[in-house]
Structure 1
Amino acid sequence: MAASSLQAGVLATIQELRPSSPLFTNGASLRITGRLQEFSVETAVAVIADEGATFRIDTQNLRDINFRIGSLYQFIGELFIQPDLPPDQAILQARVGRNVDGMDINLYRNSLELRRRFEEKYISTNSI
């Protein structure tokens, strides 16, 4: 059996998805969370928002998801950046999507920050 080329989605916030970020790499596998601001049935493109930042999600590969404006969603997929377009035209090609309305977004952000601090300390401790 061949090994899968799919990577786990790296936890990221929408605010981190800017050209200066190491996460902003074409083909990067990411997991992002935000409130649904817009959804186009014709193009299958959703726009999610978090703390004033927005990001576009291509949902054409997702099934059985009922999109509701204002609900909280989490997506895992690959980042696609077209060099001839502005950075705000980057899009996440979602392969997994779910409604996470029951999640406490502030607690999620706090746990993400704690996890990153732990990983930074653990990696620097083990690299000595």
Structure 2
Amino acid sequence: MASSAIKHGELVALQELDSSSPLFKQGASLRVTGKLQEYCVGTAIATIVDGSVSLKIDTQHLRDLNFRVGSIYQFIGELLIQSDTDAVLQARVGRNVDGIDLNLYHQSMHLQRQFEVDYMRTRTT
């Protein structure tokens, strides 16, 4: 029997999401954060950036989310790969996270991953 459970969004920084990443695969469930660079009402496509990296977000399934260019947003959804280097995240959850310190956020991601590696290492020894 196939599982129909919704997968959690794997925490990923936009800089980590390139075509060589193991997370860059069709249907990968991801959680991404970035500053809204542009939003097209007609297509419901948002573009978020973090540093020099950008990602398109399909927001057609989101309700009650007001988009403001320059604000910081976090999205959870599935990655739809359109070409070898181009992808769109089909968002199922979105929220404004203005006020978040992206540098601190990236540091906490790094510490969390290090903890998980250390934890798994101690569990297997």
- TM-score, normalised to structure 2, is 0.93
Q: Secondary structure at the match of 2:18?
A: coil
**Cα deviation code 1:18-55 (max 9, x no counterpart):** 11111111111100000000101111000000011000
Structure 2 match to 1:87: 85
Shift of 1:4: 4.4
Q: Secondary structure at the match of 2:22?
A: coil
How many residues were matched structurally?
124
Q: Could you tell me whether the CA contact under 8 Å between 2:49 and 2:55 is conserved in 1? A: yes
Structure 1 distance, partners of 2:88, 2:10, is 15
Name the amino acid aligned to 1:127: T
Name the amino acid aligned to 1:44: A
Within the alignment, does 1:105 sit opposite 2:82 as a pair?
no
Tell me how large the CA RMSD over aligned residues is: 1.5
Q: Secondary structure at the match of 1:87?
A: coil
Within the alignment, does 1:39 sit opposite 2:36 as a pair?
no
Q: Secondary structure at the match of 2:31?
A: strand
- Structure 1 gap segments, 5+ residues each: none
Within the alignment, does 1:125 sit opposite 2:119 as a pair?
no
**Cα deviation code 1:35-85 (max 9, x no counterpart):** 000101111000000011000100000000110000000000001113xx2
Structure 2 match to 1:55: 55
Identity %: 59
Shift of 1:86: 4.0
Shift >6 Å, 4+ stretches: none
Structure 1 match to 2:13: 13
